């Protein structure tokens, strides 16, 4: 006979089933918790996948009707995850957020870290907002679990059920675990993003510093880099760097959006301060924001044209004064995060540093240039002083030589001329005397040779005298009084003197004189006698060149010499041009050397161009250049400074 099962066996089976159920629930909960942890690890910079996993697991493991995860961002409550119920109810839920925390009464219940539940949403003590939401979503009981981070509420998890009733303690504990994981996800994302943002800021700052180092004299590359980096790091739509110059706002750099919008922006600047409201908005030195451009008429038109809805203004402050502004924009409405405001301020500080660096660099460069010029002037003055001393010594030596040579040279010249006359007298005395034909012929030949030789002595004696005189002139560093002179008048006078001198020497001489004198040429501090001497040399050389070319018998050739002046600001330009034979390259290299000449023997001493060079360069601190094409033209260009740097430089 078989005995029926005992009560203890039934109890054992029931206990076993309960344990298996609890074990299965525990495994499910551990699995869900592990899955959430894996999601946290897989998404270190974004907590949203974690919130979605928590909402799904909370609903499933708590036997819920729905689950939502809310996050506190600033002073608003944002819906970050929820499990769907019905399309209508889901739309109603999404439309309820974001909302001000002050308008959400449940926050007041959980902000101290307490877990709150409404076993029946229709109960009288349930806030009206929660009751309406329950009816909309279709639930009857709800559990609110705060997300607490170091004693501060950062969000909330809510789980609902379709039937009324309290949530068991183990269920509350499970939701607390999920809440802790949500806080971990939020904190991880915050730290990860802060670290990433800090690294990006440091990298951007370092990049801008590199640009500043590579462009010490030009701030444009720095402004371009600031606009690009700022726009990228604050997730902006566009960023512009503006400078304040002489009471107006100038566009220094901007990030492009589209061609039409860019043209609108560029056409808006420069603009006077009075027509640029941001100038006053940040005049106190602090950043300002415009969360919605549609609410500000002054910004609305350009915002629509460019396509943005919110703006951040950060001034460029230097020693308490605004010298510019950075404007960042976004497509969406709303305030910029604090760390973005701080980032833009960092870029503003770098822009100010760049402006100061370029200003200092330019000041140093200008000062260096001035010092270099002063040094060059000093060296030139020293060279001129040395040259003056040398020439003074040479002048003394030359004067002594001239004094010693002059008397015997005059004796030679005078007695050679007298002797030539005596040969004529000798011929006259011998004329009546009866001499044999062969003797008469020999006497005539000898007296003729004697006269020719004496004339050659006279000719070369005079040339020697001319050389001595020119050496005396060449050894002098200054001539006449130094002072303001009308350059056009000197050119005109020199042209006339040279022309009439040439006509007196060769009555058949003819040349077309062309004058191109600039009335604005004005006056310069010069030694007028020396400038006239230099011009006479150059013009006379031109006359000689055109005479030689005309002698070559070129068909249709018309000799022409042109004298021109032109105002060159701090200098006056003089040009002497002839359409004569030109100058060969090998001659051009030596033309300013003393005693170098291409003229036939007896027609030149080789000191004219050398003297002219010294007068212009050494005596007046100017320049003299020559341009020439053999067989076509020669043109001398003289540049004389209006103010002499060696006014007392007389030898």
What is the spatial distance between Cα 37 and Cα 476, in angstroms, rounded to a whole number? 100
pLDDT band with cut points at 50, 70 and 90 for residue 647: very low
Report the CATH architecture of 483-641. Answer: 2-Layer Sandwich (3.30)
What is the spatial distance between Cα 290 and Cα 310, in angstroms, rounded to a whole number? 6
Name the average pLDDT for the chain: 84
Same fold, 200-360 and 483-641: no
The residue-averaged pLDDT of 417-426 equals 79
Q: Which among 623, 617, 581 is positioned nearest to 599, based on CA atoms? A: 581
Within 6-76, residue ranges assigned H as helices are: 7-42, 48-61
| 428 in Cβ contact with 451 (< 8 Å) | no
**Domain locations along the chain:** 24-189, 200-360, 483-641
Cα 478 to chain centroid distance, Å, stands at 46
421: buried, middle or exposed (CB in 10 Å: 19+, 13-18, 0-12)? Answer: exposed
The residue-averaged pLDDT of 162-169 equals 93
Pairing of the two strands 116-118 and 141-149: antiparallel
Q: Which CATH number fits domain 24-189: 3.40.50.410, 3.40.50.1110, 3.30.450.40, 3.40.50.300?
A: 3.30.450.40
Residue 62 confidence (pLDDT): 86
Q: Which among 505, 411, 409, 423 is positioned nearest to 460, based on CA atoms? A: 409
Dump pLDDT digits (tens) for 581-600: 888 887 777 777 665 566 55
Residue 399 confidence (pLDDT): 63
The residue-averaged pLDDT of 379-400 equals 66
- C-alpha pair distances (Å), 649 with each of 116, 380, 391, 456, 525: 103, 12, 12, 41, 12
Within 431-511, residue ranges assigned H as helices are: 437-475, 487-505
Report the CATH architecture of 200-360. Answer: 2-Layer Sandwich (3.30)
Q: What region does 44 belong to: left with phi over 0, alpha with psi -120 to 50, or beta?
A: alpha
> What is the greatest pairwise CA distance in the chain?
208
Q: Which residue has the tokens 């995860």?
A: 69
Dump pLDDT digits (tens) for 260-307: 888 988 999 999 998 999 998 898 899 999 999 999 888 888 888 888
Beta pairing partners, 640: 572
Whether 24 shows a pLDDT value over 70: the answer reads: no
120: buried, middle or exposed (CB in 10 Å: 19+, 13-18, 0-12)? Answer: middle
Length of the chain: 651
Tokens encoding 526 = 């010069």
- In percent, how much of the chain has pLDDT > 70? 87
Give 534's contacts (C-beta < 8 A, 6+ positions apart): 611, 612, 615, 616, 638
What is the spatial distance between Cα 55 and Cα 39, in angstroms, rounded to a whole number? 13
pLDDT band with cut points at 50, 70 and 90 for residue 43: confident
Dump pLDDT digits (tens) for 189-244: 888 888 887 887 788 888 888 888 888 888 899 999 999 999 998 889 999 999 99
């Amino acid at each position: 006979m078989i005995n029926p099962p005992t009560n203890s066996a039934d109890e054992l089976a029931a206990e076993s089933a309960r344990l298996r159920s609890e074990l299965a629930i525990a495994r499910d909960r551990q699995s869900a918790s592990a899955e959430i942890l894996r999601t946290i690890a897989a998404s270190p910079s974004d907590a949203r996948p974690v919130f979605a996993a928590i909402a799904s697991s909370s609903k499933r493991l708590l036997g819920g009707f729905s689950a939502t995860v809310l996050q506190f961002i600033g002073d608003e409550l944002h819906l970050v995850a929820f499990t769907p119920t019905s399309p209508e109810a889901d739309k109603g839920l999404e439309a309820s957020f974001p909302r001000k925390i002050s308008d959400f009464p449940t926050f007041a219940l959980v902000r101290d870290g307490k877990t709150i539940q409404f076993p029946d949403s229709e109960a009288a003590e349930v806030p009206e907002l929660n009751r309406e939401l329950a009816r909309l979503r279709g639930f009857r009981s709800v559990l609110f679990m705060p997300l607490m981070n170091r004693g501060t509420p950062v969000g909330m998890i809510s789980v609902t059920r379709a039937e009324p009733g309290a949530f068991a303690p183990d269920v509350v504990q499970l939701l607390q675990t999920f809440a802790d994981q949500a806080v971990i996800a939020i904190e991880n994302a915050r730290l990860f993003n802060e670290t990433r943002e800090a690294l990006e800021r440091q990298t951007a700052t370092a990049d801008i510093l590199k640009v500043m180092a590579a462009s010490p004299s030009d701030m444009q590359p720095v402004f371009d880099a600031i606009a690009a980096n700022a726009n990228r790091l604050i997730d902006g739509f566009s960023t512009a760097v503006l400078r304040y110059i002489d009471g107006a706002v100038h566009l220094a750099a901007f990030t492009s959006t589209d061609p039409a919008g860019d043209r609108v922006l560029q056409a808006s600047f420069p603009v006077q301060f009075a027509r640029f409201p941001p100038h006053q908005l940040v005049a106190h030195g602090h950043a300002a924001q415009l969360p919605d451009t549609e609410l500000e008429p002054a910004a609305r038109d350009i915002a629509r044209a460019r396509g943005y809805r919110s703006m951040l203004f950060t001034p460029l402050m230097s020693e308490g004064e605004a010298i510019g502004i950075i404007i960042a924009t976004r497509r969406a409405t709303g305030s910029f995060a604090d760390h973005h405001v701080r980032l833009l301020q960092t870029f503003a500080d770098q822009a100010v540093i760049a402006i100061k660096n370029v200003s200092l660099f330019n000041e140093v460069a200008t000062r260096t240039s001035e010092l270099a010029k002063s040094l060059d002037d000093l060296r030139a003055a020293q060279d001129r002083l040395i040259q003056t001393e040398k020439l003074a010594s040479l002048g003394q030596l030359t004067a002594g030589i001239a004094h010693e040579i002059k008397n015997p040279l005059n004796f030679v010249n005078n007695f050679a001329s007298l002797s030539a006359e005596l040969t004529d007298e000798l011929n006259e005395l011998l004329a009546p005397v009866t001499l044999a034909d062969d003797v008469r012929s020999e006497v005539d030949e000898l007296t003729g040779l004697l006269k020719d030789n004496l004339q050659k002595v006279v000719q070369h004696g005079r040339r020697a005298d001319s050389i001595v005189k020119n050496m005396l002139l060449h050894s002098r560093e200054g001539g006449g009084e130094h002072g303001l002179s009308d350059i056009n008048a000197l050119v005109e006078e020199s042209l006339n003197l040279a022309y009439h001198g040439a006509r007196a020497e060769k009555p058949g001489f003819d040349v077309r004189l062309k004058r191109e004198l600039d009335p604005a040429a004005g006056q310069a501090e010069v030694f007028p006698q020396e400038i006239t001497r230099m011009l006479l040399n150059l013009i006379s050389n031109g006359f000689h060149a055109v005479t030689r070319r005309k002698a070559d018998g070129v068909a249709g050739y018309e000799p022409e010499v042109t004298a021109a002046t032109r105002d060159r600001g701090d200098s006056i330009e003089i040009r002497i041009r002839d359409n004569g034979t030109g100058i060969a390259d090998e001659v051009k290299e030596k033309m300013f050397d003393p005693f170098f000449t291409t003229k036939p023997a007896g027609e030149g001493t080789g000191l004219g161009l050398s003297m002219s060079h010294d007068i212009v360069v050494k005596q007046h601190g100017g320049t003299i250049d020559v341009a020439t094409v053999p067989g076509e033209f020669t043109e001398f260009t003289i540049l004389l400074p209006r103010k002499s740097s060696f006014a007392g430089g007389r030898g």
